[in-house]
Amino acid sequence: MDNNLIPLILGMAVVTYGPRLLPFLFFSNTRIPRRVDAFLKCIPVAAIGALIIPGVITATPDMPEAALLGIGFTAVYSFFRGGIIVPVLGSVGVAYLVMAGLG
C-alpha cells in the first residue's frame, strides 16, 4: 500500500467521525426540548421514504399498480401494526401476486 494513503485514510476518519462525536461531547448534559425531539424522530421515516419510494415506483414500470398496491399494503399494515419485516415481505408478496395475476 502506498505510504500516502494511510494519512489520507486517517484524515478521512477524523473528518467523518468528528461531527458525530462533537455533539455528544458538548451537549451530553443538555436536555432537548420536546418539539425538537419530536422533529428529530421524524427524520428516519422521511429519509427512508425519500430513499425507498422512488425505487419502488420505478421497479415495475410496466405495472405501476403492483407498486401502488405494495406501497398501500405497507402503509396500512405499518399504520396499524408497525414493524419492518412483515410490511416489507408483505409488499413484495402483494406486488408479486399482482404481477403474476395481471401479467
Q: What is the pTM of this model?
A: 0.55
Q: Average pLDDT for consecutive 10-residue bins of the chain (103 residues)?
A: 82 91 84 89 82 83 88 90 87 92 74
Predicted pLDDT at 103: 60
DSSP conformation class of 1: -
The CA distance from 13 to 24, in Å, is 17
Cα 29 to the center of its chain, rounded Å: 29
Block residue for cell numbers 407498486: 67
